[in-house]
Structure 1
Amino acid sequence: MLNPIDTDAVIRDGRVAGAFPGEIHESVAWWVAACFVVVCRARQMAVAHDSHPATDEFYQRFCQGAINAEHFGCQVSNLGTADEVQLLHAMKELGGVPGALLTTTDGGGRQTVTIRLYDAACRPVTEDTCLARLREMIASDRVPIPVNGQAKGRITERRDLVETL
């Protein structure tokens, strides 16, 4: 694995989080998304972010990882800037799909990037529901790659789902 991370430190407590730069880097978002799609067998998901400048590259890579996960052809609904309430609402509106919220906080002279994952029932993922398996896949360098170009998903702009709230 190029540029490995301490998966036990970064993928824990129901989220993926770490100091940036340092504990976490942008490629982690790609890895997490691809593994999440495979673990959840997701054909569609909703993804949102805060408006923090550091979040942008993580967000872009997350979306790319999701649409390139093996043969799933995952359709990513790009919600743009949204909070958790808006994300969960959009997930329900899309028919009960998994989702992710990417955020960055500043504090103590450092930035912390966090990726929160939600199952199709709008519940945060836990160790038992997929986080442990996701961590194991990344730690053992079994991040899923696309089978071929025809299996690739796509990203659809769906800001309309959060503008109504």
Structure 2
Amino acid sequence: MSEVLIIVAVVAVLAVIAAVALLRRRRAARAGGVGEPGAVEPPAAGPAVREEAGDEEAAPTRATEEAASRAAEAEAVAAEAAVKPVLSEGELRSRVESQLTDSERMLGELREAATGGGEPALGAGSLEIMAEGLEEVRALARRKQWNQARDKCGALHAQLSLLLRSTRRERAS
């Protein structure tokens, strides 16, 4: 029985490898990957056929070269747009501090809503987790690790914002 399972596993792995190789070839062919490994090349034509083709083959080659260069330019532009601007330490600190104070305000509102009448929408545990997260952000800020503080504070701010919206909706209904 175990031999059968081993054989089935090996066959499955080989099938996955073959599928990946096939998909890579198709993607390369669609992208116009000239000269890429695994790309299908047309059979070599004899000298007489090459002379007749002459200018007819030159136009498609130029078109594919132009398309490839346009694609490379588009990738470069997209890569430049994806790069975030580098912020100075002062800018990072001010952003972290503003988000931190806003997050503390939202946490206070959530605590008021949780202690208010009716069924609490939030458990005390979730509010404590958020408070611990804010303490971690404060610790990162004290150590002047502004990038990490910004990322963590941004995530906490987003969570608190969603929780506050949800709580306000429940109160309104």
Q: TM-score range by the shorter chain?
A: under 0.3
The structure carrying a bigger strand percent of its residues is 1
Which of the pair is proportionally richer in helix?
2
Larger radius of gyration: 2
TM-score by length of 1: 0.24
